[in-house]
């Protein structure tokens, strides 16, 4: 971490990035795809937990990927959110995820995130999902 950041600045970055994790889950469960995509940097990329090595890059492609999915009711529960501030403009994080769909047994996974400060505020530069079981 950069030595020029105060403890208060680090906590603010951690808070802002953790809030993105929660917003992502809430917007995803509401099927508000525009709001989900707005959480990404313009050149951000994502990989779903079901395909962690299949990157979808850019807001337009991410929106297309979400809108192409069949409608479903979900509830994502994210916990164990840990953010590591690298410097004033970048951070990384990880979180655990429990997905309820009502159609099958709950799925357990995690996310590995890279965050970047943009002119729009903190955004996901990269969000990679992983399935545990």
Q: Rounded mean pLDDT of the chain?
A: 96
Q: Tell me the whole-structure pTM to 2 decimals.
A: 0.94
Residue 3: what pLDDT? 72
Residue 2 has pLDDT above 80, yes or no: no
pLDDT tens figures, 66-93: 999 999 999 999 999 999 999 999 999 9
Domains parsed from the chain with CATH numbers:
7-131 (3.10.450.50)
pLDDT tens figures, 35-47: 999 999 999 999 9
Q: What tokens does 47 get?
A: 């990989």
By CB atoms closer than 10 A (0-12, 13-18, 19+), residue 73 is exposed
């Amino acid at each position: 971490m950069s030595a020029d950041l105060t403890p208060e600045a680090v906590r603010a970055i951690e808070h802002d990035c953790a809030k993105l994790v929660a917003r992502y889950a809430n917007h995803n469960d509401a099927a508000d795809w525009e709001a989900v995509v707005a959480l990404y940097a313009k050149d951000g990329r994502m990989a779903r937990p079901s395909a962690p090595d299949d990157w979808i890059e850019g807001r337009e492609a991410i929106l297309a990927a979400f809108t192409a999915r069949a409608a479903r009711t979900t509830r994502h529960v994210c916990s164990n959110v840990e953010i590591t501030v690298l410097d004033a403009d970048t951070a990384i994080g990880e979180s655990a995820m429990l997905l309820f769909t009502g159609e099958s047994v709950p799925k357990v996974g995690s996310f590995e995130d890279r965050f970047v400060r943009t002119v729009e505020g903190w955004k996901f530069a990269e969000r990679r999902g992983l399935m545990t079981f």
